[in-house]
Amino acid sequence: MKIFSAAQIKNWDSYSINIEPISALQLMERAANSCVDWMVESYEINDSFSVFCGNGNNGGDGFAIARLLYLKGFEVALFTNQKQEYSENAWINLKKCQEITGIDIYDFERLSQFNFKENTIIIDALFGIGLNRKLEGENAEIIDVLNKLPFSKISIDLPSGLLADRITEQNALVFKADQTLTFQTWKKAFLHPETGIFCGKVHLLNIGLSEQFGAEEPSDDLVIDEEMIQNIYKLRSEFSHKGTFGKATLIAGSFGKMGAAVLATKASLKTGSGLTFVLAPKCGYDILQTSCPEAMFSNGGENRIVNFDFEDDSVLGIGPALGTDASTESSFLKFLKTHRNPMILDADALNILSKNPDNLKLIPKNAIITPHPKEFERLFAPTKNSFERLNLARQQAKELKIFIVLKDHHTQIITPDNRVFYNVSGNSGMAKGGSGDALLGILASLLAQNYSAENTAIFGVWLHGKAGDFAAEKYSKEAMLASDLIEEIGTVFKYLN
C-alpha cells in the first residue's frame, strides 16, 4: 500500500470528486459515515460523545460525525468556536447540527467548566492533514486541557497538532489519541516513534477514493500489507525435495552466548530452508546438536569463531553473539574481502564493521543488513530523529547498493533504488533479547529459498512480526519469548495458506 503526502491526498480527494463524480460535501459525509460505523461497533449506546471541531474540513467531518452519532441514538455534545470563519462544507455541517435540538453546542471557552460524564469519549476533529505549523494560543490550550481529561480519545484522520509528513517541532502540543480513524491510506506520522506515539491504534477506513489515482500516483514510501505478502509468498510444489529450498548457514555464537545461535538456527529451520548449517565455536557443539538436531554443525573455532569456512553454495546469516574479539574481527574482515555470497549481516557483524568507515565498502552488493537504531548510528552517523535517520539510510542504501532493515517499532526496509517499505505487523512484546536473532534466521532461510533480496527483507520482516503477534495473543506481550515467536512461524504459514 502506497503512502501519500498531505498534498497527494488532497489531490486524490479532488480527483475522486471529479471522476466519480461526487461532491466534496458528499465525500465528507461518506468519511463521517465510515467513522460512525466503526464507533457503533466499538462502543455501547449509553456512551456519551464530546466532539471538538475546528473550522476546516476536519471540523466538517466532526460536525457530520456528531450529527450521525446523535441519529444513531448516542448522547452528543459539540464544542467549537462559533465566532470563527468556517470552510464552506464545515459551515454546512455545523448548520445541520444547529438545527437538531438534541445536540448541545458549546464554545471552547466553556471547556474548563464543563461537567463531563464518566462514560465520555472525546473526539478530536480540530485539525487534519492541512496543518503545517506548530499550534499556539487558544488551539494549543484546548489540546492541553483535552490531553489531561481521563477519557478515551479518538482522532479523526490525524491527531491535531501532528504534521502528516514530517516531525513536529519539539515541545509542540499534540492531541494524544487512543484510537485514530484515518482514511484510505497510512500517513508517515503514524509510522515513526516520535509522532506515532500520539496516534494510539490506527484504523484504516476505506471511503471509496479513486482506485485509478491510487494505482497511478507514484510514491517511494509504502506500507507492507497482506496483499503484497500474498504476491511475494511462494507456495511449495508437491514435486520438490530438500535441494529445491537451498542451503542456509548461520554463523553465530561464542562462549556463554550460544542461545543466539540456537534461536537463529531454529528460526531458519522453521522458515523452511532445505538444509540448514550452523557455523559456531566448538564449545557450543553439544548445545546445538541437542537443541537443533535438524541442523548440521560446523566448527568455527574453540570458544569463538575464527574460521569462516562454509558450503560454497550457501546463503549466510552472520552476527548473533559473534563477539568482537580481535581474532574474530580479523577473520571476519578477511572473509568479507574475498566472498560475495548472498548474506545477511546483523549484531556483532555490524559492530565489527562500524569500527572503521572503510569496512562498509566490504559489504557485498545486494546484502541485507539489519541494524537497530544504535547499531545504525555506529555504522553511519548520529541523527536527530527517526525521520533524519531514514533519510540517511536511503542515502547509504543507494551508495552501498544494499538493503537496510532498520529495526524499530515499525521496521523500515530501505532499498537501493530509494524505496521504503514500512512494516506494521509485530508488537512491543517482541522488544526482548533474542527477537533479532530469530529475524536473522528467518531472512537467511528465505534468501536460501531463492526469494530476491528485496522480497526476502519484506516477507521476512512481516513474517517475523506476524509470528510475534500470534505469540502475544497466545502468551501475552509481557510473557512471550523469542522462542515462542519461532514456534508461531508455522502458524503464520498456515494463515497464509
- Residue-wise burial string across 9-21, b where 16 or more C-beta atoms lie within 10 A, e elsewhere: beebbebbbeeee
Neighbouring-strand partners of residue 52:
79, 124
- pLDDT value at position 412? 98
Report residue 298 as a C-alpha cell.
560446523
HEC assignment per residue over 171-218:
CCCCCCCCEEEEECCCCHHHCCHHHHCCCCEEEEECCCCCHHHHHHCC
Residue 130: which pLDDT band, with cuts at 50, 70 and 90? confident
* pTM recorded for the entire structure: 0.95
Q: How confident is the model over 52-78, as a mean pLDDT?
A: 97
pLDDT higher than 80, residue 311: no
Rounded Cα–Cα distance for residues 442 and 317 (Å): 9
Nearest to 39 by CA among 121, 149, 103, 132: 121
Residue 341: which pLDDT band, with cuts at 50, 70 and 90? confident
- pLDDT value at position 312? 80
Indicate the CATH number for domain 6-219: 3.40.50.10260
- pLDDT value at position 199? 97
Report residue 105 as a C-alpha cell.
453546542
Nearest to 485 by CA among 494, 497, 472: 472
Residue 50: which pLDDT band, with cuts at 50, 70 and 90? very high
- Element at 79 (helix H, strand E): strand 75-80
pLDDT higher than 80, residue 213: yes
Residue 371: which pLDDT band, with cuts at 50, 70 and 90? very high
Q: How confident is the model over 102-120, as a mean pLDDT?
A: 93
> Residue ranges per domain, the chain?
6-219, 229-496
Rounded Cα–Cα distance for residues 493 and 449 (Å): 15
- pLDDT value at position 252? 97
- pLDDT value at position 132? 84
pLDDT higher than 80, residue 481: yes
Q: What count of Cα atoms within 13 Å lies in the side-chain half-sphere of residue 72? A: 24
- pLDDT value at position 310? 81
Rounded Cα–Cα distance for residues 261 and 323 (Å): 12
- pLDDT value at position 244? 76
Cα–Cα distances (Å) from 210 to 6, 58, 181, 184, 463, in that order, read: 16, 20, 19, 10, 30
- Element at 456 (helix H, strand E): helix 453-475
pLDDT higher than 90, residue 211: yes
Rounded Cα–Cα distance for residues 399 and 22 (Å): 46
Residue 157: which pLDDT band, with cuts at 50, 70 and 90? very high
Contacts of 205 (CB under 8 A, 6+ apart): 31, 34, 35, 38, 181, 182, 183, 184
Is the preceding peptide bond at 21 cis, omega within 30 degrees of 0?
yes
Beta strand 221-223 with 368-369: parallel, antiparallel or unpaired?
unpaired
Percent of the chain topping pLDDT 70: 100
Beta strand 403-406 with 412-414: parallel, antiparallel or unpaired?
antiparallel
- pLDDT value at position 239? 78
Residue 169: which pLDDT band, with cuts at 50, 70 and 90? confident
- Residue-wise burial string across 256-281, b where 16 or more C-beta atoms lie within 10 A, e elsewhere: ebbbbbbbbbbbbbbbbbbbbbbbbb
Cα–Cα distances (Å) from 193 to 187, 243, 414, in that order, read: 13, 42, 17
Each residue of 408-453: pLDDT tens digit? 999 999 999 999 999 999 999 999 999 999 999 999 999 999 999 9
pLDDT higher than 90, residue 348: yes
pLDDT higher than 90, residue 262: yes
- pLDDT value at position 46? 95
Residue 98: which pLDDT band, with cuts at 50, 70 and 90? very high
pLDDT higher than 90, residue 238: no
- Element at 155 (helix H, strand E): strand 152-156
pLDDT higher than 80, residue 12: yes
Q: Three-state DSSP class for 354?
A: coil
Q: Class of 229-496 per CATH?
A: alpha beta
pLDDT higher than 90, residue 480: yes
What average pLDDT does the structure give for the chain? 96
pLDDT higher than 90, residue 369: yes
Residue 219: which pLDDT band, with cuts at 50, 70 and 90? very high
pLDDT higher than 80, residue 231: yes
Q: How confident is the model over 117-145, as a mean pLDDT?
A: 93
Rounded Cα–Cα distance for residues 246 and 314 (Å): 7
Residue 314: which pLDDT band, with cuts at 50, 70 and 90? very high
Report residue 380 as a C-alpha cell.
553511519
If one compares 183 and 133, the residue with the highest pLDDT of the two is 183
- pLDDT value at position 237? 81
- pLDDT value at position 38? 98
